[in-house]
């Protein structure tokens, strides 16, 4: 596996007024890995993700993706370069069917790349069908998106992100609000996608069993800063992490 990071963040800082939500964060994510970013509520994880996707502009620091600087790039430009996010808050197209929702995402990708020749209705429909089969939603393709269970809606959000053909997928609390069965299904999907597609995944997740069970590397944030990074075993043995989660101020 290449040692060169696909995503290389250095000194990333975001200040709102006088408050540093993210402070001097370094993050190196190797291609083909699952890298979790964890920390208590208010640690800065969501702000970090918004900086990576272009929703927020950094106050300072650099974000390099596949060797190219993209700090401050607009969200559509970030997506076009191969970085996509599946959002924590369910954000599907409620009045469209599941299949139509994915078709919209596929068509949006073609338009962003001006590849309109490839955006024929039959091609778009076929790609949407293939994506739904890959994520396990083929049987509900004709159902209105708003009628899906919470777990299926979250999986649909992953399918919408995959429609952009990302090289790196950001997942913000993908199992939030899920039943144990739905959680297991999502975990299997994420690990399966990473293996089958060689997809790089950056994951924010509160369930530590999931984090330490599927991650290649873990970065721990607290009050906007990184306090620990390493393999799951190294992070679990770090006394600073135990202090934050068990004995320190939350």
pLDDT tens column, 204-240: 999 999 999 999 999 999 999 999 999 999 999 999 9
Q: Please check whether residues 41 and 115 belong to one and the same domain.
A: no
Q: Please check whether residues 233 and 113 belong to one and the same domain.
A: no
- Tell me what pLDDT residue 123 has: 84
Number of structural domains, the chain?
A: 2
Q: What is the pTM of this model?
A: 0.90
**Residue 234 in domain:** yes
- Tell me what pLDDT residue 247 has: 58
State how far the Cα of 77 lies from the Cα of 13, in Å rounded to an integer.
21
- Tell me what pLDDT residue 12 has: 98
**Residue 64 in domain:** yes
**Residue 158 in domain:** no
**Residue 218 in domain:** yes
Q: Please check whether residues 20 and 77 belong to one and the same domain.
A: yes
**Residue 120 in domain:** yes
- Tell me what pLDDT residue 204 has: 95
Q: Please check whether residues 139 and 118 belong to one and the same domain.
A: yes
- Tell me what pLDDT residue 93 has: 76
What range does the domain containing 17 cover?
A: 7-89+168-247
Q: Please check whether residues 12 and 122 belong to one and the same domain.
A: no
**Residue 66 in domain:** yes
pLDDT under 50 in the chain at which residues? 1, 113-114, 116-117, 248-250
**Residue 81 in domain:** yes
CATH number at residue 199: 3.40.50.300
Q: Please check whether residues 85 and 99 belong to one and the same domain.
A: no
**Residue 160 in domain:** no
Q: Please check whether residues 48 and 16 belong to one and the same domain.
A: yes
Q: Please check whether residues 80 and 192 belong to one and the same domain.
A: yes
């Amino acid at each position: 596996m290449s040692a060169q990071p696909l995503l290389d963040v250095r000194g990333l800082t975001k200040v709102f007024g006088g408050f540093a939500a993210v402070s001097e964060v370094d993050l190196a994510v190797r291609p083909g890995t699952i890298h979790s970013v964890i920390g208590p509520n208010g640690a800065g994880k969501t702000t970090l993700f918004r900086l990576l996707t272009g929703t927020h502009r950094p106050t300072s620091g650099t974000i390099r993706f596949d060797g190219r600087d993209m700090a401050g790039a607009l969200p559509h430009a970030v997506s076009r370069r191969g970085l996509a996010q599946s959002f924590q808050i369910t954000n599907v197209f409620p009045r469209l069917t599941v299949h139509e929702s994915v078709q919209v995402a596929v068509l949006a990708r073609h338009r962003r790349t001006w590849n309109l020749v490839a955006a024929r209705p039959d091609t778009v429909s076929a790609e949407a069908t293939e994506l739904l089969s890959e994520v396990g939603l083929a049987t509900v393709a004709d159902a209105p998106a708003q009628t899906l269970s919470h777990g299926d809606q979250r999986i649909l959000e992953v399918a919408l992100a995959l429609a952009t053909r990302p090289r790196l997928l950001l997942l913000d609390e993908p199992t939030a609000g899920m039943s144990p069965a739905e959680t297991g299904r999502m975990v299997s999907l994420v690990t399966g996608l990473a293996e089958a597609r060689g997809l790089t995944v950056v994951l924010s997740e509160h369930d530590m069993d999931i984090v330490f069970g599927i991650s290649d590397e873990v970065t721990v944030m607290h009050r906007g800063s990184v306090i620990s990074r390493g393999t799951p075993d190294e992070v679990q043995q770090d006394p600073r992490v135990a202090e934050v989660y068990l004995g320190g101020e939350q």
